[in-house]
Amino acid sequence: MAPRRNNFAFSGIFFPGAALRKTGGISDSMRISGTRARVKRSPEKGKSSLRSAMRWGLLVLCCMGLVRSGVAQQNPKLEVKVFPVAARARCHGPVRVVLRVGWSGKRLLQGCFDLTVRDENDVYCRVRTGEVTLATGFQSLDVVLPAMESTMADGKAEVHVRFLGKKQNRDIGKFSIVLADRTHRSLVIGICRAAGTVSTHLLNIGRSLSLERYDPLRAEVETRDILTSTAWLVPEDFPTNPLDTCSFDLLLVDGFGLARLQRKQVNALLTWVEGGGSLCLLAGELSGLKPYHVQFLDNLAGGEGTAYILDREGDVLREGAAPDGFSCYCAELGRAVVVHRALDPAADLETPGWRRVVGFLWKVRFWQQKKLIRSGSWKEVAPPAEGIRRTGWSRPILQLVSTYALCPLSLDLKPFVVPPEIQLIPLWVLILILALFLLAIGPLDYLLLGLLRRRWLTWILFPLVCIAFTLLTVKVSNVYLGESDFRKSLVFVDVGKGGKVLRKSTFEFLFSAGESVRVRNLSRTLFTPVDTDRFSRSRTTEIRWDSPIRRDSLPWMEGWVSGSVEVRQKIWKWTPLANRLMQFGKGETVSDLDWDAVDLETLFRDEKESISSVRSLLFKETPDREKYFLVFVCHRDTVEKVVTPGSETSVDPMRPDDITTLISQVSARSSESGWSGVVSRISPAGGGTFEDLAVLDSANRNEYLLVAVAREGNDLIVYRRLYTCTPHKE
């Protein structure tokens, strides 16, 4: 029998009894008859064990921290959040979003962001930004997306963001934005303030500038036809590219914000205003300005150089200020109001003088301004006869047509999109080809092979007949639809004083005879695909809830949309394609015509005398008069043609009557109904419509538009100069 082995425990830790006897750690007086013996430790030994355990625990925690740190360095985190600049994007204008990017890595991260805007059914745009370099920490990135129009009733869409790095791609996630839809008039007011917080004073002024406040059809927010959003800007984030300001209908800038704007930002703001924008400048406390700020104010006032003077302390002195403190300027195509005193929101924003400012900035029609100033609302207008019908809504709508919807042109523009020699295959030709095919594979095959007693050859003859008729059908299609590409452009060039180019809008139309991918590099140009169905009157009578542009025809943009960008676009065979390219003037001038020789006094004379004077002054020193085959003057609802030398032989192929009607309708919209019944023109947007190209108020007898049309191949170049007398004559 094996001897019994005793085990002993010290404070709950068990050890073999033999091992303890060798150490002599147990006295004879201990009870060893049982299987266990408990020995008490001294206090010093207990403290030592506790300190040892704490050291080991701290060591384990440090090791775990080092392991986690190593894992974090191997997989750093990239956080991105998308914030739209405005709660709802502007109608037919580019969409600005801010990417708030956070990078936890220690090394620089290089790559680009890939953004896809879509909703449940449609894809609206695909943009890949230029190369960016991310450092540790947080930073903001402004991204401009092309103009988009939602087919959903609420305008909600998602932005799917991915980061494409050189070594690894990251799927960031989806973020919600609200686009402009087809049944509301969405407006955006940008407010630039010097402080980083929201100013209640500026917010009240911005709300008083909201156009729906003066709508005679005032309604709840859910049923309004006009929706105005506010976008807050700081001087550091103010655009240096005038194309970026096309996201706004109106800009409100306080004096301290203007003083912090740099030269490039001021120049971009001036270019946008002269191109048709609206600016309200609160100059009650203008101080700390630099000479280029004063030059900016002088350019708004007319460019004479004496309207504003800068003293030694940096304060601006105004000579000849308006009695009510509101100086209204017509800066080329745009409008500017300089407020020379501090505004009291409780008293000043309800006066007729302030309502005059609102009507002036929004370019309200001349005959509507009187009622707006007197009663605080414009005269109610009827919905457009060919408006957009509200269908597919979940709630009942009593008014089927939006009152302020886009007013379509009364002229069918399909001939400008599709070449005149292109026509569809006649039905009788298709029936004839089908009849011959059935005759060949039926009776002819049966009789011919039966006569030859070779019916087994039908397995060879039938495929050959099919191939032959297929080639015949393709040949007939090429004869009717053409075998070469057709390209045509309609270019609107607005000029100012001295022939200075203010802005340029190009509508290009392409009808291709084959499939291809078109790649182009653009610089400082807004590129927008255009829905060709908008050019047909028959397609504007009801809203289409499907995608307005084929998904596979959407351009793929790589770069910065308003800067340098590469555009890839799929071109389909025998499918009309239209795009719009808009850019502001880059300092070039139109020197062929003497625009400054034609002044307001010349245009205000008798019609016959005025036309002869315009002809003699405009072409006084022009060497190439044959270039301009059509010149006319638009005034109110009339068009007076100026017959130029050689025009009798050059205008016939170009259908001058249609061209004159098109240009006059684009330049001066009808003032009877719809949105154009309230405002005469809007700020430049660059969308896929002609809406922002209207420059003439047909109700104002003191505005004249001089138009000269040139032809370069299949392209039509339309030069326009607006002559305005301010204040308006009664």
Task: Give the DSSP per-residue string, 199-240.
Answer: -HHHHHHHHHT-GGGG-SS---GGG-SEEEEEEEE-GGGS-S
Percent of the chain residues topping a pLDDT of 90: 29
User: What is the pLDDT confidence band of residue 720, given thresholds at 50, 70 and 90?
Assistant: very high
- The predicted pLDDT at position 44 comes to 58
Q: What is the mean pLDDT of residues 368-382?
A: 87
- pLDDT bucket at 268, cuts 50 / 70 / 90: very high
Considering only CA atoms, which of 366, 397, 390, 363 is closest in space to residue 379?
366
In a domain, 507, yes or no: no
Is residue 527 within 8 A of residue 561, CB to CB? The reply is: yes
First and final C-alpha spacing in the chain: 133
Q: Which amino acid is at 191?
A: I
List, for residues 275-333, the tens digit of each pLDDT value.
999 999 987 766 778 888 888 988 888 765 556 766 666 566 665 556 678 888 989 99
Amino acid 537: pLDDT: 45
The answer to whether position 559 is within a domain reads: yes
Taking residues 634-643, report their average pLDDT.
73
Same domain, 97 and 48: no
Confirm if 385 and 478 have CB atoms less than 8 A apart. no
- Are 70 and 101 within one domain? no
Strand partners, 364: 679
Same domain, 69 and 97: no
Going by C-alpha positions, the residue among 11, 71, 77, 22 that lies closest to residue 45 is 11
pLDDT at 385 over 60: no
**Per-residue pLDDT tens digits for 9-52:** 434 444 444 444 444 444 444 444 444 444 445 555 555 777 77
Vertex 134: Cα angle to 132 and 140 (nearest 5): 85
Going across the sheet that includes 486-495, the strands are: 526-530, 576-584, 501-511, 486-495, 715-724, 703-712, 628-635, 638-642
Q: Which residue has the higher pLDDT, 131 or 553?
A: 131
Contact between residue 123 and residue 154 where contact means Cβ atoms under 8 Å apart: no
Does 219 score more than 60 pLDDT? Answer: no
Place of tokens 């140009």: 525
CA–CA distance, 635 with 142 (Å, rounded to integer): 42
Answer whether residue 669 shows pLDDT above 90: no
3-state secondary structure of 440: helix
Given this model, what pLDDT does residue 162 score? 95
Same domain, 138 and 43: no
Q: Which of 74, 108, 131 is the last residue of a domain?
A: 74
In this prediction, residue 523 carries a pLDDT of 93
The verdict on 51 and 127 lying in the same domain is no
Check residues 497 and 532 and name the one with the higher pLDDT. 497
pLDDT in tens, 568-605: 998 888 788 889 999 998 888 887 788 887 766 666 55
The tens digit of pLDDT for each residue in 479-494 reads 777 677 778 889 999 9
Instruction: Give me the residues paired with residue 639 across strands.
Output: 634
CB 318 within 8 A of CB 329: no
DSSP string of 650-704, one letter each residue: HSGGG-HHHHHHHHHHHHS--SSBSGGGTBS-------SSSGGG----TT-TTEE
More confident site: 106 or 53 = 106
Residue 1 pLDDT more than 60? no
- Residue 268's identity, in one-letter code, is A
Residue 92 inside a domain? The answer is: yes
Q: Are residues 55 and 150 in the same domain?
A: no
Bigger pLDDT: 446 vs 360: 360
Could you give the percent of the chain with pLDDT greater than 70? 73
Q: List the structure tokens of 654.
A: 């170009």
Regarding whether 129 and 83 lie in a shared domain, the answer is: yes
* In-domain check, residue 11: yes
The one-letter amino acid at 245? T
The Cα 450–Cα 444 span in angstroms is 10
**pLDDT value at residue 107:** 87
Report whether pLDDT(5) > 60.
no
pLDDT band at 645 (very low <50, low <70, confident <90, very high): very low
The runs of H, that is alpha helices, within 482-606 are 600-603
Question: Within 13 Å, how many C-alpha atoms sit on residue 145's CB side?
Answer: 27
Q: What pTM does this model have?
A: 0.81
Domain stop point among 502, 535, 569? 569
Residue 188 — pLDDT band, cuts 50, 70, 90? Answer: very high
Place of tokens 């709840």: 220
Which residue, among 282, 294, 236, has the nearest Cα to 261 in the 3D structure?
236
Q: Pull the structure tokens for residue 157.
A: 């869409």
Q: Is residue 219 part of a domain?
A: no
Which of 121-130, 441-450, 487-496 comes out lowest in average pLDDT?
441-450
Distances (CA, A) of 425 to 329, 473, 478, 509: 57, 10, 10, 22
Task: Please give the single-letter amino acid code of residue 475.
Answer: K
Most confident of 156-160, 441-445, 481-485, 614-618: 156-160
373 within some domain: no
Residue-level pLDDT at 728: 41
In this predicted structure, what is the pLDDT of residue 355?
93
Residue labelled with tokens 């390209």: 487
The residue segments making up the domain with residue 155 are 76-181+555-569
50 and 126 within one domain: no
pLDDT at 323: 67
Other C-beta atoms within 10 Å of 495: how many? 24
What is the count of structural domains for the chain? 3
- For the segment 257-265, the average pLDDT, to the nearest whole number, is 91
In this structure, the answer to whether residues 108 and 164 fall within a common structural domain is: yes
Assign 583 to helix, strand or coil: strand
Give the pLDDT of residue 550.
Answer: 55
Q: Are residues 167 and 90 in the same domain?
A: yes
How high is the mean pLDDT of the chain? 78
Non-local (6+) Cβ contacts of 322 within 8 A are 328, 340
Average pLDDT over residues 489-517: 90
Same domain (yes/no): 466, 563: no
Q: Which two tokens stand for residue 484?
A: 């070469």
Domain boundary among 454, 481, 508: 481
**Tokens found for residue 284:** 């009650």
Cα gap 705→641, rounded to integer Å: 12
Q: Length of the chain in residues, anyone?
A: 730
Pick from 586, 283, 539, 515: nearest CA to 409: 539
Cβ-based neighbours of 48, under 8 Å, separated by 6 or more: none
Is position 140 within any domain? Answer: yes
- H or E segment to which residue 118 belongs: strand 109-118
Half-sphere exposure of 327 (CA within 13 A, CB side): 21
Chain-centre distance for alpha carbon 445: 62
Query: Tokens at residue 229, please?
Result: 């959003």
Residue 679: the pLDDT is 92
Pairing of strands 326-331, 316-318: unpaired
pLDDT reported for residue 343? 86
Q: Using CA atoms, how far apart are residues 665 and 153, in angstroms rounded to an integer?
A: 29
Tokens matching residue 592: 């062929």
What's the pLDDT at 640? 73
Give the domain CATH number at 163.
2.60.40.10
Segment 376-385 mean pLDDT: 79
Is residue 613 one of the residues assigned to a domain?
no
Q: Which residue has the higher pLDDT, 391 or 608?
A: 608
**What is the 8-class DSSP label of residue 70?**
H
Tell me: do 156 and 80 sit in the same domain: yes
Residue 363's pLDDT band, with cuts at 50, 70 and 90, is very high
Q: How far apart are CA 289 and CA 304, in angstroms?
A: 19
pLDDT at 503: 95
